[in-house]
Amino acid sequence: METTMVAPEAGAGGLRLSGRMPVYFLLDCSSSMDGEPLNVVKAGLELFRDNVEANASARDLVYVGVITFGDTAERVGSLVAIDRFLPQSLQLSANGVTRLDVALSVLQQAMLDDALAAGHSAATDFQPLVFVFTDGNPTDEDGYASANWKTARESLLNPGPGLPRPSSIVAVGCGPSVTDDTLLQISTGTWWRLGSNPTTVAAGFGLISSRVLSTVGVLAGALADANASAARANTAARTAQDETSKAGAFAHEAKQEAQVALTHANISRTEAVNAQESAAKASLNADRAADSAVESAESARSAEDYSARAERAAQRAGSEAVIAGGSASEALGAAELAEVVVESANVATRSTRAPRARRARTSRK
């Protein structure tokens, strides 16, 4: 059996399942159901109500809706909780033909209306269970046997996206006129005959009650699983919160360290820029020093050349000085000789002038 689950909600006593599990009864009220057949159905619905209401889980989940069909189809009251469902208050009157096609269309609209009512949506209610009671084959508006209901059944079981659909359709035969094949085609796989005596009626509605309660049991098991999962989720959430707090503290420390690192990075970047500028200046000075070294080397080579030249000039000057010294000595000797010669000449001259002067003085006398 297909069952749609929804997420659990938190409640005062722990978790509870959200939404409702609708159960719809489609009651054949054609002329052939007049009298005792309808009374039997109403009595059976009383048994169903008592059985389901006695189950605490079902009492919280099960809601009941009734649709009657004959010449037409209509809802009888609204969708109500199982403890407010009063079968004996149903005003059921038999007449006309068996328009199951109209009943299925009314059911589809009722499912949508009920899902949207009171803040609910198709996603928050569980999939409905549908029970179709009939004592004969479906007909058209003129009372002839017809398969026109199959289109409505297909639409009911395959609605558009997000629209409600029943989890199952159970067909219940209320008399000998309906065929097994018809019951099988109406249902989604499960059908049975109700019978007419009190024992078989009680057994039939006991099966209906069991079908509903088994679905409730599945949901109750899901609730237990949801409670356990929720407890684990709460523990995990608290652990995650603690880890998140720790992570927040680590993140704060990391942020502060990152800010310090950023400050240091800015300082390092400034120092790097300064170092780059110093390196550029040093490179420039190195280039200049290299140029100066080249110039110094050239000057040194020039100085060496000048020194060699000076040495050669000194050597020549020394030689010339020696020569000059010899020449000077010779010149000095020659001068001294000349001086002697001159002196000798002077003496000779004086010697010669003295007799001439005496002769002259003598002559003047």
Q: Provide the CA 108 distance to its chain's centre, in angstroms.
A: 40
Percent of the chain surpassing pLDDT 90:
42
Residue 240's pLDDT is what? 66
Angle at 305 between CA 299 and CA 310, to 5 degrees: 120
- 254-273 pLDDT per residue, tens: 788 878 877 787 887 877 77
Q: How confident is the model at residue 364 (pLDDT cuts 50, 70, 90)?
A: low
Q: How confident is the model at residue 16 (pLDDT cuts 50, 70, 90)?
A: very low
- Mean pLDDT is lowest, of 27-31, 47-51, 317-321, for 317-321
Question: In the structure encoding, which two tokens stand for residue 226, read together?
Answer: 């949801």
DSSP reduced 3-state for 93: coil
Longest Cα–Cα distance of the chain, Å, equals 230
Instruction: Kindly compute the dihedral angle of the four CA atoms of residues 243, 248, 249, 251, in this order, to the nearest 10 degrees.
Output: 120
Go through the domains of the chain in sequence order and give each one's CATH number: 11-240 (3.40.50.410)
Model's pTM, two decimal places?
0.61
Q: What is the mean pLDDT of residues 129-149?
A: 95
Q: Could you report how far apart the first and last alpha carbons of the chain are, in Å? A: 201
CA distance 85 to 71: 25
Strand runs labelled E in the chain: 8-11, 14-17, 21-28, 62-69, 73-81, 129-134, 168-173, 190-193
Residue 191's pLDDT is what? 96
